[in-house]
Structure 1
Amino acid sequence: MALSQGARPLRVYKETTQLLRLGILTKEPPWYQVVASVPPSTVLIRTTPVEFDTPPQGDVKAVSRKVKKSKKFFRPRYIQYPEDDLRKTFFADHPWELARPRILVEDSGNDGLNYDWSRLQQPGKALDGESVIQRQMWLMENEKLSKSAAYDVARKEFYRLRMRSDIERRIAAEEARSVGAFFGKSHLQVGLELEEKALLAWKVKAQEAVARRQQRIEAMANPGSIDTDVGDEDATTDTPGLTGAPETPTSPTEPSNAQGT
């Protein structure tokens, strides 16, 4: 039964009793007698712990002193594992390892204990930073190496295996291309093309901004040139005598040359 906001747990028992009395419910629920003997609490928040260190009765100051509640009462306890410091050191030196895709699904949360960390590379597990950390822990516990010495050994093995995998990947790609495979553009080529497009768009906007700025500078340097030019253009268009040669008026009584001939 879903409780509405503000409903009390004891109200469920009362409503069930009323339904049984009216005959709507013919059988008691399995929890009915239990709730009747042990009624639920109406306060649903966590109570403060009991103070065991009670002050003596004769100490008036201690009795009148108010007990302050701890601010960290509802804060979970901080848990520190030995691998946390090793992870912090490794990923601080190799930040790009965090960009590699990883499988976060685990069966029990302790899948690292099912591998033999006497060697770094494990069957069925991708080589990543966690492999280096577990290998370093194994060297510290079994080989009795220091933290820095075990880190150097595990790190060198990690570099060697990574270089080997990169060489194998390049060889496989060259063999595939030799038989006609086509892989398309690489991530670097796609990134360079996008960068060039962004630079060209920025160049066009910069040229437009420079042109507008130059126009403003010229307008501020010669504020009357624009008005003068506009006034001259209006005068030439409105006055017919200024557009070309002066026109000679013809008298209505004098016939033109075309009519005389």
Structure 2
Amino acid sequence: MAFRAPPTGLAKHVSNLMKGNLIKKAPVWLPVVQSIPPGPSIIRSQQPHVNLTAQTPAEKAMAADATANSSRRSTSLSIRHKQKHLRTPPPRPRAIVYPEDRLRRQFYKDHPFELSRPKVLVENDDGVNRTDFSQLILPGMHLAQVDGEAVIKYQLHLMTNENMPERKAYAKATSEFYVLRAQQEQEERDARQKMADLLQNINNNKYTKKALYHEEQALLQGQGLIN
């Protein structure tokens, strides 16, 4: 029977096989197992030092505040649970918290009507989604492409890359957003006015009126309403 390494020594066993040239290529899961080794139990112990979400220090600091608040609430609930039932609670996975969650809640709380705007889920012509949020609107973008999610990502960029406080970044992102929305509404009003003027000119044309009259008469004759 082939030798089976225990879970705790699996990474070391594979490394020894590679040193002895028994395995030519390292498995794709080896770096993961080396950084997060399996435990002797099927219930994995939590390792707070492992950065599972690949967040920056600023993002981790924001997430730590939300995690601390949730842990205080869960601690009070667990104390009441133990006092009432006196049994060990089942293990639960750690909550994955992202700073965008708090920024998103604040933005849509102040701008609820942005949720009613239609969202285009189709990719652009190049097939590449936007990943650069150093500016609220990039060169070549249309004003209608700037939505609430772009404001949130732009605020997060100001906080993480320019070390701007949350309230100041929120004020800067929303002020630029208001300017773009005003420009977009002005363009829409100009387009509606231009279309209304064009239709008015068509309706005022005597030849158009004459053609519409003859068309109406032909329809009435076809229905037998007039001779």
Bigger radius of gyration, 1 or 2? 1
Higher helix share: 2
* TM-score, normalised with respect to structure 2: 0.43
User: Taking CA–CA contacts closer than 8 Å with sequence separation of 6 or more, which of the two structures ends up with the larger relative contact order?
Assistant: 2
